[in-house]
Structure 1
Amino acid sequence: MLIHPWDAATDDTEWRHWLTIHDFGQLAVNGLPGEPPHVQPLHFTYDAGRGEHGEVVTHLARPHPIWPALETSPLVLLSVVDDHAFIPGPWQAAPGTPPEHGTATSFYAAVQLRCRAQVVDDPAAKADLLNRQLAHFQPEGGSARVAVGEVPYGRMLAGIRGLRLDVVDVRAKFKFAGHRPAGTQERIAAGLERRGGPGDRAARDQLRRRSGV
């Protein structure tokens, strides 16, 4: 992923906070020799307080075909992309130039976590992992706590395998016209607000947050 200086995260706090809100991504795992990579969409929980760059926890079904490849090559990439919107060329035209000379582009936020994966099969460790996920996704409660041998989830633990992903490197990009003049940024923000399509509000908010327009 190419990251220009004006698209880079301002600091680790920016991408760490973004991951606490954007918790659905794609896990890419190297395939076995002669096979393409496995790419699995999934929900995950990011914990910034564990390890130098944080830890991700998730789980998948035990029959999943990803396991042999993951155990052969535990270095994986978790890719998260959101807040995306198409920006028409005229919105980006430089001051004093015809609108039709503007160049269209895409806005998006993206964080790529390079991780070393650890498969979790111990029932108690899996229960702990699932409780961490429930605490994130259902903080209001509404589900029983996962415990080995206890209803309703204890008997289901055998059907899954847990994943701990130790984050070893991070690439974060927030592509929201950071190198454009303030007047152009204001024009883009107004265009996004006026258009109001899927993703436009999130992209507009990112533009305003990073540029201050």
Structure 2
Amino acid sequence: MLVHPWDAPRDGTWQRWLAAHDFGQLAVNGAPGEPPHVQPLHFAYDAERGEAVTHLARPNPLWPAVEASPNVLLSVVDDYAFVPGPWQAEPGDPPEHGVPTSLYAAVQLRCRAHLVDDPAEKAELLNRQVCHFQPEGGSARAAVGEAPYGRLLSGIRGLRLEVTEVRTKFKYAGKRSQAVRDRISDGLATRAHPRDAGARTHIRRTGTPAP
């Protein structure tokens, strides 16, 4: 992923953004001659431990690939929007000379994958995920040999994704003039496509490429 200086987020931005974006795609190297495996999944990111945790069904074809090549990539993209060319034309230039572009936020976590097969460790991993996604409670805790989840532990494998490198990009017209950013912001507000509001929140941070 190419990251220009004007698309790099400020310190702490990507952690706050990632805390609210816990669904992504896990990419794992395929066998020689085969494409990568790409698995959509929910995950819980733990900044203090420097890892993300998740689980998948035991029959998932991803497992042999992870065992063969545990260096994986967790990719999260959101708040994206298409910007028509006229919105990007600088003042004094013909609108039709504006260049269409994409706005988006992206975080890529390069990770070392650790498989979790011990039943007690899987239960602990599941409880961490439930606490993340259901902080209000309402679900029983997973425990080996105990209802309702104990009998289901054998059907899954857990993953601890130890983060070894982070690449981030918040592409929101950071090199454009304030007049262009204002025009894009107004255009997003008027168009009101599903992710336009999120993109507009980023671009309204005057003079910065990200929140």
The answer, yes or no, to whether TM exceeds 0.5 is yes
Q: Distance in 2 between matches of 1:205 and 1:142?
A: 33
Q: 1:210 to 1:18 in 2, by over 3 A?
A: farther
Is the aligned partner of 1:7 residue 2:3? no
Q: Quote the offset at 1:195 in angstroms.
A: 0.6
Q: Quote the offset at 1:33 in angstroms.
A: 2.4
Q: Distance in 1 between matches of 2:13 and 2:167?
A: 12
Contact 2:53–2:161 (CA under 8 A) maintained in structure 1:
yes
Contact 2:111–2:165 (CA under 8 A) maintained in structure 1:
yes
Q: Between the two proteins, what is the percent identity of the paired residues?
A: 70
Q: Which residue of 1 aligns with 2:15?
A: 16
Q: Which residue of 1 aligns with 2:113?
A: 117
Give the paired residue count.
209
SS in 1 for 2:130: helix
SS in 2 for 1:209: coil
Q: Which residue of 2 aligns with 1:180?
A: 176
For structure 1, the residue ranges without an aligned partner over 5 or more in a row are none
Aligned counterpart in structure 2 of residue 143 of structure 1, from 117, 124, 139: 139
Q: Distance in 2 between matches of 1:144 and 1:209?
A: 42
Amino acid paired to 2:36: P
Q: Distance in 2 between matches of 1:32 and 1:101?
A: 46
Amino acid paired to 2:177: P
Q: Distance in 1 between matches of 2:47 and 2:206?
A: 22
Q: Which residue of 1 aligns with 2:151?
A: 155
Q: Which residue of 2 aligns with 1:32?
A: 31
How does the TM-score come out when normalised to structure 1?
A: 0.95
1:81-104 deviations in whole A, cap 9, x for unaligned?
Answer: 000000000000011111111000
Q: 1:134 to 1:209 in 2, by over 3 A?
A: farther
Q: Which residue of 1 aligns with 2:128?
A: 132
How does the TM-score come out when normalised to structure 2?
A: 0.96
SS in 1 for 2:205: helix
Q: Which residue of 2 aligns with 1:168?
A: 164
Q: Distance in 2 between matches of 1:157 and 1:167?
A: 25
Q: 1:76 to 1:207 in 2, by over 3 A?
A: same
Contact 2:85–2:95 (CA under 8 A) maintained in structure 1:
yes
Q: Which residue of 2 aligns with 1:89?
A: 85
1:1-58 deviations in whole A, cap 9, x for unaligned?
Answer: 11000001212x11111111011100000012232110000000000001xxx10000
4+ residue segments displaced more than 4 Å: none
SS in 2 for 1:202: helix
For structure 2, the residue ranges without an aligned partner over 5 or more in a row are none
1:159-200 deviations in whole A, cap 9, x for unaligned?
Answer: 000000000001000000011111110110010001101100
SS in 2 for 1:198: coil
Amino acid paired to 2:114: Q
SS in 2 for 1:40: strand
SS in 1 for 2:54: strand
Is the aligned partner of 1:67 residue 2:66? no
Q: Quote the offset at 1:210 in angstroms.
A: 5.9
Q: After alignment, is 201-210 or 105-114 more displaced?
A: 201-210
